[in-house]
């Protein structure tokens, strides 16, 4: 392996971060990495690895740059309406309680949206909503539940009054909602999955993965669901080999385990 090559870089970076860049589409990831390297004046991969190793601020910014920590409350509201009006009632015909996982939860907007919907619609939860992400620092932010005025733009006015407390220019999610979510660090590509989930959300997480990695990941999600369970994916995503995985499309962006 040539020192300073792409292969050398991704091997060294995995040792530093535990993130396996081989699972990501190389052209897109190379562009993102090279643009970041230019912004920090790193001339090559060797210089860049040295910089990441010694400068924690640069390392933190780089992680944010490549893990795309972007989230919104009730992202794609029409899809959330389908979840609430069609999918959850379907699941509750089969079971008395729901076991839910928000995979790749970033700063918490998605699992908190689930918790608020559960409060409003009185979903019987089997346990706390599981919310996972590979990035420990975004999980710490999620656990705090503090958001800017811009960050809560997707929250309905009624929910804002019921479930948020204004603190200066910011808004903090109420304790009753925070206590409904269990945040946990988890690497989708390496760590074991739980079992018997009724509902899994993995939205706008896999778009930079290779097709092979996506296929493996969706198969693992299918294994993690109970028969009849549903996975809710992002608005730019599709599960191409759904039938082979024992899944069927029941609405746009929703797949059920057969």
Measure the CA–CA gap between 215 and 7, rounded to whole angstroms. Answer: 23
Exposure string for 41-54, b = 16+ CB within 10 A, e = fewer: ebeebeebbebbee
Q: What is the mean pLDDT of residues 150-155?
A: 94
Q: At 231, is the secondary structure helix, strand, or coil?
A: strand
CB 66 within 8 A of CB 32: yes
User: Tokens 């040539």 — which residue?
Assistant: 2
Q: What is the mean pLDDT of residues 102-115?
A: 96
Structure tokens at 146: 């503090």
Residue whose C-alpha is closest to residue 185's, from 9, 17, 12: 17
Per-residue pLDDT band at 1 (split at 50, 70, 90): low
Average pLDDT, the chain: 94
Q: Evaluate if residue 3 carries a pLDDT over 80.
A: no
> Rounded to 5 degrees, what angle do the CA atoms 136, 137, 140 make?
90
Sketch the domain layout of the chain as residue ranges: 6-67, 77-257
Q: Are strands 170-173 and 247-251 parallel, antiparallel or unpaired?
A: unpaired
Structure tokens at 191: 């760590």
Q: In the chain, pLDDT over 70 holds for what percent of residues?
A: 98
Q: At 48, is the secondary structure helix, strand, or coil?
A: helix
Quote the pLDDT of residue 69.
Answer: 64
Measure the CA–CA gap between 171 and 161, rounded to whole angstroms. Answer: 10
User: Tokens 């690497």 — which residue?
Assistant: 187
Quote the pLDDT of residue 244.
Answer: 96
pTM (whole model) above 0.85: yes
Residue whose C-alpha is closest to residue 188's, from 7, 24, 33, 65: 24
> 53 or 68: whose pLDDT is higher?
53
The DSSP string of 143-209 is HHTEEETTTTTTS-HHHHHHHEEEETTEEEE-HHHHTTEEEEE--TTTSPP-S-EEEEEE-SSSTTB
Measure the CA–CA gap between 190 and 124, rounded to whole angstroms. Answer: 31
| CATH 3.40.640.10 at 77-257, yes or no | no
Q: What is the mean pLDDT of residues 219-239?
A: 96
Taking each helix axis from N to C terminus, what angle separates 56-67 and 26-39, rounded to the nearest 10 degrees? 150
Q: Evaluate if residue 70 carries a pLDDT over 70.
A: no
Lowest pLDDT segment from 33-42, 110-119, 194-203 = 33-42
């Amino acid at each position: 392996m040539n020192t300073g090559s792409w292969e050398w870089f991704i091997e060294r970076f995995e040792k530093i971060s535990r993130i396996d860049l081989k699972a990501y589409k190389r052209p897109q990831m190379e562009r993102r990495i090279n643009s970041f390297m230019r912004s920090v004046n790193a001339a090559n991969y060797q210089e860049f690895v040295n910089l990441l190793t010694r400068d924690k601020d640069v390392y933190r910014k780089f992680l944010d740059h490549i893990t795309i920590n972007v989230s919104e409350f009730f992202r794609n509201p029409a899809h959330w309406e389908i979840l609430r009006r069609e999918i959850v009632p379907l699941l509750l015909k089969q079971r008395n309680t729901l076991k839910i996982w928000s995979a790749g939860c970033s700063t918490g907007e998605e699992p908190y949206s689930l918790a608020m919907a559960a409060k409003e619609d009185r979903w019987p939860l089997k346990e706390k909503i599981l919310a996972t992400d590979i990035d420990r620092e975004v999980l710490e932010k999620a656990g705090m539940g503090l958001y800017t005025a811009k960050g809560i733009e997707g929250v309905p006015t009624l929910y804002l009054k019921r479930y948020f407390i204004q603190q200066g220019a910011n808004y903090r999610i109420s304790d009753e909602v925070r206590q409904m979510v269990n945040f946990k660090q988890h690497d989708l590509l390496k760590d074991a999955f739980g079992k018997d989930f009724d509902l899994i959300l993995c939205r706008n997480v896999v778009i930079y993965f290779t097709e092979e990695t996506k296929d493996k990941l969706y198969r693992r999600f299918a294994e993690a669901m109970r028969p009849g369970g549903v996975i809710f994916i992002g608005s730019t995503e599709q599960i191409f080999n759904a039938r082979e995985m024992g899944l069927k499309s029941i609405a746009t962006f929703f797949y059920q385990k057969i």
